[in-house]
Amino acid sequence: MKQDTVLIIGANGQIGTALLPQLQHLYGYDRVIATDIRPSLQSTDIFETLDATDAAAIATIVKKYRITQIYHLAAVLSAKGETDPLWAWNLNMQTLLNVLEVARTYQIQKVFVPSSIAAFGEHAPKYETPQSTLLDPATVYGISKVAAENWSVYYHKRYGLDVRSLRYPGVISYQSMPGGGTTDYAVAIYHAAVQGLDFECFLAEDTLLPMIYMNDALRATLELMEAPAHQISVRTSYNLAGMSFTPAQVTASIQTYFPDFKTTYQPDFRQAIADSWPKSIDDSVARHDWGWKPAFDLPKMTHEMITHLTEIYHQVA
């Protein structure tokens, strides 16, 4: 096992919930410190309640456990952020700057700060959106991600801090419930199907968006963080792609298992957010720099989601 000691900020979120056991396997249970503002949602050897808006509290944990890597996963997501933009901006930016400053002060070896396809806006190419293009996001979440990318570059250039990032597409997982993102319909729809319920979608049936299965998202994250520093040519955030599909397509995929499953469509304010985002992503730079390649397409992901959620709901029943 590796000798680093890893801090996860936001361990109860969608990414954190799934990433925690992966990091424990890689580094050891006693070398992964999970933190969140809420009590722990899963079994872990070391958990600390942490408000990441408190820089001193982050520093205390970094010193206490002699942290060498930080995964900063705490954030207000796109749809939830639009309900209170100033709160979302302040939380996203304050936690980011706290992490970067603590990492600089205590000479943390590596920091992971996720970005998102929400960083793109209406003037970016919709199909095969390139690594470098205009970033004019439509949401406060996207604005905060563009700012985070620029701050990451600044800390790398000025202080030599090794900050790494991925622009996640919509992440689909069975490990946690939806958390306020515009792509969350693609998680909730599987929960409904497995419970024998029909589904009302808040996006139009032909809304094409980039998505990725959690297994691929985790592997990409760890591959990026394990890559030698000389292979990292992007210090803003790497484009990352898995697959693109519409609500109608994921419905059809689910119907191969549940033929009577039905989806109705009632687009709401999240439709405008989705319409501002890319439809597919060019991740050729990640493929070139550190060998990224997705393993899951829609049929394979549907099989995994239905299998795991069926087990979960059977256990609950």
Q: For residue range 71-88, list pLDDT tens digits in order.
A: 999 998 888 889 999 999
Contact assessment for residue 201 and residue 185, using Cβ atoms and an 8 Å cutoff = yes
Average pLDDT value for residue range 208-229: 98
Is 177's pLDDT higher than 90?
no
Rounded mean pLDDT of the chain?
95
Give the residue extent of every domain in the chain: 6-170+213-239, 173-210+242-316
Average pLDDT value for residue range 252-266: 98
Of the pLDDT bands very low, low, confident and very high (cuts 50, 70, 90), residue 242 is very high
Average pLDDT value for residue range 116-132: 96
Is 317's pLDDT higher than 60?
no
Q: What is d(CA 23, CA 285) in angstroms, rounded to the nearest whole number?
A: 25
CATH 3.90.25.10 holds for 173-210+242-316: yes
**Percent of the chain scored above 70 by pLDDT?**
98
The pLDDT value given to residue 226? 97
Average pLDDT value for residue range 116-121: 96
The pLDDT value given to residue 143? 96
Of the pLDDT bands very low, low, confident and very high (cuts 50, 70, 90), residue 3 is confident
The pLDDT value given to residue 77? 80
Same fold, 6-170+213-239 and 173-210+242-316: no
Average pLDDT value for residue range 289-301: 98
The pLDDT value given to residue 43? 67
The catalytic residues are 141
Q: Give the residue carrying structure tokens 């609500």.
A: 247
The pLDDT value given to residue 44? 67
Q: Give the residue from 171, 178, 185, 169 showing the smallest Cα distance to 265.
A: 185
Q: Work out the end-to-end distance of the chain between its first and last CA atoms, rounded to an integer number of angstroms.
A: 38
Q: Take residue 286 and report the two structure tokens written for it.
A: 């990640």
Q: How far is CA 48 from the centre of its chain?
A: 21
Angle between helices 247-255 and 298-316 (to 10 degrees): 60
**What are the backbone angles phi and psi of residue 262, rounded to the nearest 5°?**
-130, 145
Question: Which residue spans within the chain are E strands per DSSP?
Answer: 6-9, 32-36, 47-49, 69-72, 110-112, 115-116, 163-164, 166-168, 170-172, 199-201, 209-213, 238-239, 243-245, 263-265
The pLDDT value given to residue 231? 97
Is 1's pLDDT higher than 90?
no
Of the pLDDT bands very low, low, confident and very high (cuts 50, 70, 90), residue 316 is low
Q: Which fold has domain 6-170+213-239?
A: Rossmann fold (3.40.50)
Is 315's pLDDT higher than 80?
no
